[in-house]
C-alpha cells in the first residue's frame, strides 16, 4: 500500500464497490450507486451517539439490536457512546411476501435478560412500512421496561403504513432499496462499508 493511502478506500476499491454490483449470481445486472459514504455514516452515527449519551446519562440503557440488518450500525454506535450500555439482540421474521402477511410476524430470537425497569433503546437499520417495528414494540413493551424508544439509521417516512415514532434518526430517505453497512438484498452486500442504492 502506498504511503498516505486510506486503507479503507483501498479495501473498498478491491471489493469493487464503486460502480457495479459484484456479487456473482442473481444480481449481476444490478448497479449499486453510492448513497452514503463512510464519512457521512461515521459522522451521523457519532451525532446520534452524542444525543443518546446525553439523554441516557444516569439511566439503565439496554441497546436491543434487530438482527441481522442492524449489526454493523449497533457495533459502531455502541463504541461511540460515552455512557455504559448493555447489548441484546432480537430477530423477527415475517412470513409471506405481501402486505397481508403483517399478522404473521414472529420473534425467532428473543432478548436473554429481563428488561423490567430498564431503559430500552431499539436499534434498527431501516424503518419502512413500520409493521415489523410495531410488532416488536408491542413485544418488548410486555417486558415492562422503564422506557422504550427507537433509534433507526434510515427512516423511509413516506412509506409508512402505521404510525411509528422514531426517536433518533440517522438519515431520512424517500424511496429506493438500499444495501451495505449491514443491510442486505437476499443476504448479499451486508459487508459493504458504505450504503448504496440498488438500481
Among 21, 130, 145, 180, binds ligand IMP (CB under 6 A): 130
Cα 55 to Cα 75: distance, rounded to the nearest angstrom = 19
Output the CA angle 147-149-155, nearest 5 degrees: 175
Cα 10 to Cα 2: distance, rounded to the nearest angstrom = 10
**DSSP3 helix / strand / coil % (the chain, rounded to 5):** 30, 30, 40
Closest distance to ligand IMP from the beta carbon of 27 (Å): 13
Q: Annotated catalytic residue: which of 26, 128, 155, 167?
A: 128
Subset of residues 166 to 185 that bind ligand IMP, contact rule: CB under 6 A? 177-178, 183
SS3 annotation, 137-179: HHHHHCCCCCEEEEEEEEECHHHCCCCCCCCEEEEECCCCEEE
Among 76, 88, 128, 155, binds ligand IMP (CB under 6 A): 128
Subset of residues 95 to 124 that bind ligand IMP, contact rule: CB under 6 A? 124
Cα 47 to Cα 70: distance, rounded to the nearest angstrom = 17
Output 130 or 145, the one with its CB closest to ligand IMP. 130
180 interacts with Mg ion by CB under 5 A? no
130 interacts with Mg ion by CB under 5 A? no
Closest distance to Mg ion from the beta carbon of 125 (Å): 5
Specify whether 128 is catalytic. Answer: yes
Element (H, E) at 132: helix 131-141
> Using CB under 5 A as the criterion, what x/- string covers residues 56-95 for binding Mg ion?
-------------x--------------------------
62 interacts with ligand IMP by CB under 6 A? no
Catalytic residues: 128
Amino acid at each position: 500500500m502506498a504511503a498516505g493511502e486510506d486503507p479503507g478506500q483501498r479495501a473498498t476499491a478491491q471489493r469493487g464497490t464503486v460502480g457495479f454490483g459484484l456479487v456473482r449470481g442473481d444480481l449481476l445486472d444490478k448497479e449499486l450507486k453510492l448513497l452514503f459514504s463512510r464519512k457521512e455514516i461515521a459522522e451521523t452515527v457519532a451525532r446520534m451517539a452524542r444525543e443518546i449519551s446525553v439523554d441516557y446519562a444516569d439511566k439503565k440503557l439496554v441497546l436491543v439490536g434487530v438482527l441481522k440488518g442492524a449489526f454493523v450500525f449497533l457495533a459502531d454506535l455502541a463504541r461511540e457512546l460515552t455512557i455504559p450500555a448493555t447489548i441484546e439482540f432480537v430477530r423477527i421474521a415475517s412470513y409471506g411476501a405481501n402486505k397481508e402477511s403483517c399478522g404473521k410476524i414472529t420473534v425467532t430470537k428473543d432478548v436473554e435478560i429481563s428488561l423490567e425497569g430498564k431503559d430500552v433503546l431499539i436499534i434498527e437499520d431501516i424503518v419502512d412500512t413500520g409493521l415489523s417495528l410495531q410488532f416488536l414494540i408491542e413485544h418488548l413493551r410486555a417486558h415492562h421496561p422503564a422506557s422504550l424508544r427507537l433509534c433507526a439509521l434510515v427512516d423511509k417516512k413516506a412509506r409508512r403504513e402505521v404510525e411509528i415514532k422514531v426517536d433518533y434518526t440517522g438519515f431520512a430517505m424517500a424511496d429506493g432499496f438500499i444495501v451495505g453497512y449491514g443491510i442486505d438484498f437476499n443476504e448479499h452486500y451486508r459487508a459493504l462499508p458504505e450504503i448504496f442504492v440498488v438500481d
